Structure 1
Amino acid sequence: MDYKKLGSRIREERLKLNLTQEILAEDINISVSYIGQIERGERSLSLDTLFKLAHRLGVTIDYLLQDSLKTSKENSINQFANLINNRSQKQIQMALDMIKVLFSHLDNKD
């Protein structure tokens, strides 16, 4: 886990909401020094704290962690599978068609 990248993402989202470290820390019941250490990547955080941060910042945990996690082809396939879960066949086909167009465009740029 890359705590510097996670902290940077948390800081970025906090600033988008015009929140100070003090307000964010108070809202999720942690100390100001701890939120500063998290944002600088100096401290790890519990799942509970990560959940509270994501909820307060209005983002998902996977969004906060996306820069910290190494992606693999299998992980990407699982993400695609989750995106199409509970979608109609028509919606799935539309998404596939869009991906085909995107890849065709990317292939033409190389």
Structure 2
Amino acid sequence: MDNRILGKRIREERSKIGLTQEKLAEFSEVSTAYMGRIERGERNITVKTLVRIANALGTTIDYLLKDSVEVEDHSLVKQWLQLTVDRTDKEKQMAIDVIKVMFGHLDS
């Protein structure tokens, strides 16, 4: 998770509704200094604190986290699962053995 992106989004939402950092900190039950570090992306925050901040801002956690969470591409894993869904364990092992031989040739 990119804390800088999260902090920036929190700061933007706070500014949109005209809330001071001090008031947001108060509503979120954290210190003003801590809220400043959150907005600058210097601190990790707990889910509990994130919920309080989202509630104080009148938004959702998923909106605040949007673009701050890196999603891994699992398309290759999905392809493998699709190819092997109706295969026996023996057939799957054979496919793995073939891949190992192919990788061996690529590495040499």
Normalization by structure 1: what TM-score? 0.63
Report the CA distance between 1:72 and its aligned residue.
6.0
Please name the residue that 2:53 is paired with: 53
For residues 18-48 of structure 1, the C-alpha deviation after alignment (integer angstroms, 9 at most, x for no partner) is: 0111111111211000000000000000100
**Where in structure 2 are the equivalents of 1:37-76 lying within 5 Å?**
37-71=37-71
Q: Secondary structure of the residue that 2:59 maps to in structure 1? A: coil
Partner amino acid, structure 2, of 1:44: N
Count of residues in Structure 1 that have an aligned counterpart in Structure 2: 74
Q: Distance in 2 between matches of 1:66 and 1:35?
A: 19
Identical positions, percent: 54
Contact 2:27 2:53 survives alignment (8 Å): no
Matched, 1:23 2:23: yes
Q: Distance in 2 between matches of 1:16 and 1:29?
A: 20
| Structure 1 unmatched ranges of 5 or more | 75-110
Q: Secondary structure of the residue that 2:13 maps to in structure 1? A: helix
Please name the residue that 1:78 is paired with: none
Q: Which sits farther off after the overlay, 42-51 or 20-29?
A: 20-29
Report the CA distance between 1:69 and its aligned residue.
1.5
Q: Distance in 1 between matches of 2:18 and 2:67?
A: 22
Deviating above 3 A after TM superposition, structure 1's stretches of 4 or more consecutive aligned residues are 71-74
Contact 2:5 2:67 survives alignment (8 Å): yes
Please name the residue that 1:108 is paired with: none
Normalization by structure 2: what TM-score? 0.64
